[in-house]
Structure 1
Amino acid sequence: MTSEENRRSRRQGPAMLRGRAVPQTTTDQRLLDGRGPSDWVHADPWRVLRIQAEFVEGFGLLAEIPKAVSVFGSARTKPGSDEYELAVDIGRRLHEAGYAVITGGGPGIMEAANKGCDDAGGLSVGLGIELPFEQKLNDHIDIGLEFRYFFVRKTMFVKYSQAFVVLPGGFGTLDELFEAITLVQTGKITRFPIVLVGTEFWGGLLDWVKQVMLSSAKISEEDLDLFHVTDDPDEVVRVIVDAHVKQARLQEEEQAAREAARAAGNGT
């Protein structure tokens, strides 16, 4: 590098570029010049704008939905099977308890939970994902969004759900389950109910968690209280409702304590 190149520098937004890193054209030139390759639409800075657009679209569309519960489970579950009908029942009961139902928007368990809520007259939401193989949103959705990026979609599930219900599923279901448990365990989100449905299906995994993870001190005993396991759809809803009633009561007590402290401070 010559001494002249060493001396040459340019401010570019928040960045400082020097020497060979200084571009030969300005940002405006590159924006307005219609010639040249179109590779830029696949570059990381452009992806940032797409990511931002997905967040804006999701936040805007979901901001006013009522309290909701996300239901996860296998896309491969067949209509008419016991697991499918169980998810339909849970979707219906969640609506009757005052919740909207959010799923991944696909077939199987997702379709079933949306169907149960939709048939009962509730608000049914589907958050789909762009995949190499076609998987359209199911027909029981009132509000549907398709995302390019898994992490944006996951944010929407967590931000707009007051509980997670997890039925039998595959790797995607496990991914959503353990992310939720991790977020609650680490205090990244306010604790909310996580209910696993299917004692037989989840039993082997939970035995391993206790016998291997817990026994080797990789998790704590209280971490096992971060989720609830049941086969009973009534219990699914009861666990969620009871947790929210308790949470509302604690919030009211905290608010009353803050107001009392404020009043005492004003009186001194």
Structure 2
Amino acid sequence: MTDQTSGAKRPREHHRGPVRLRRAQVESGTTDQRLLDSRGPTDWVHTDPWRVLRIQSEFIEGFGMLAELGPAVSVFGSARTKPDDTMYALAESVGRGLVELGHAVITGGGPGAMEAANKGASKAGGVSVGLGIELPFEQGLNEWVDIGITFRYFFARKTMFVKYSQGYIVMPGGFGTLDELFEAITLAQTQRVTSFPVVLLGTAYWSGLIDWLRETVLADGKIVPADLDRFHLTDDVDEALSHFALR
């Protein structure tokens, strides 16, 4: 085909919906043909457009499962917390106490502190939710999860925690726990969420982090004093629960 203005030969061009392909990027056949033709490789199931549909399905499943959950609080903590650990007993008390306040309890669905919170909620007759994630080291949902879903994508799972929680109680934990903690604080700082209490349970565990935030991050001007008021530190379960009393 020749451009009528310049006389130059225009490159091969193909439109695939809103996408425009030229030169070597032009594919043979049509989208319908590739859909209906059962022969050939199956690499298409691993392409980014197909992943978009999987991501969409995760949001639909999550929204559909949790839309009528009612008031809920997410409890985070280490999967490595042992049943004989003091924090396991505290997490169980937290789960029970939240149910007594009228909340459902949401955790990552794993073992350790998550299991303890789910156990406390379930034994108290409340709604015990587990939002799991596919991991290389398979752990599955703990036995105390009454409503559970396992996600492929962390960001879809994180959206469910924030959207359907009235706040977080954070037990001692590792990178995953820290990730959820700082995401919640960031969302509050940037006003993506409002009225979203974050409670850290365990002063001995969290004090070093808070001291670093105050003495290094704040002192260097990377945050402002009000940012340190975006979370509450305590060892007392009742004090932690007081931030979630339904009005």
TM-score, normalised to structure 2's length?
0.94
Q: State the partner residue of 1:28.
A: 32
- 2:160 is aligned with 1:156: yes
1:12-27 to 2 correspondences below 5 Å: 12-27=16-31
Deviation at 1:20, TM superposition (A): 2.3
Q: State the partner residue of 1:266.
A: none
Q: State the partner residue of 1:263.
A: none
Cα distance in 2 for residues equivalent to 1:140 and 1:18 = 55
Q: State the partner residue of 2:242.
A: 238
1:159-238 to 2 correspondences below 5 Å: 159-238=163-242
Deviation at 1:112, TM superposition (A): 0.2
- 2:149 is aligned with 1:140: no
Cα distance in 2 for residues equivalent to 1:239 and 1:189 = 16
Deviation at 1:11, TM superposition (A): 2.0
Deviation at 1:102, TM superposition (A): 0.1
Q: State the partner residue of 1:92.
A: 96
- 2:11 is aligned with 1:7: yes
In structure 2, stretches of 5+ residues that fail to align are 3-7
> 1:117-151, CA deviations, whole angstroms, 9 ceiling, x for partnerless residues?
11010000000000111101011111000001111
Cα distance in 2 for residues equivalent to 1:52 and 1:170 = 29
Q: State the partner residue of 1:103.
A: 107
> 1:168-197, CA deviations, whole angstroms, 9 ceiling, x for partnerless residues?
000000000000000010011223100000
Deviation at 1:80, TM superposition (A): 2.6
Q: State the partner residue of 2:73.
A: 69
Amino acid at match of 1:8: R
Q: As a proportion of its length, which structure holds more helix?
A: 1
Cα distance in 2 for residues equivalent to 1:11 and 1:38 = 23
Cα distance in 1 for residues equivalent to 2:41 and 2:25 = 20
Cα distance in 1 for residues equivalent to 2:180 and 2:50 = 28
Cα distance in 2 for residues equivalent to 1:81 and 1:216 = 37
Deviation at 1:18, TM superposition (A): 2.3
- 2:60 is aligned with 1:42: no
Q: State the partner residue of 1:251.
A: none
Deviation at 1:94, TM superposition (A): 0.5
Q: State the partner residue of 1:113.
A: 117
Q: Percent identity?
A: 64
Cα distance in 2 for residues equivalent to 1:157 and 1:193 = 13
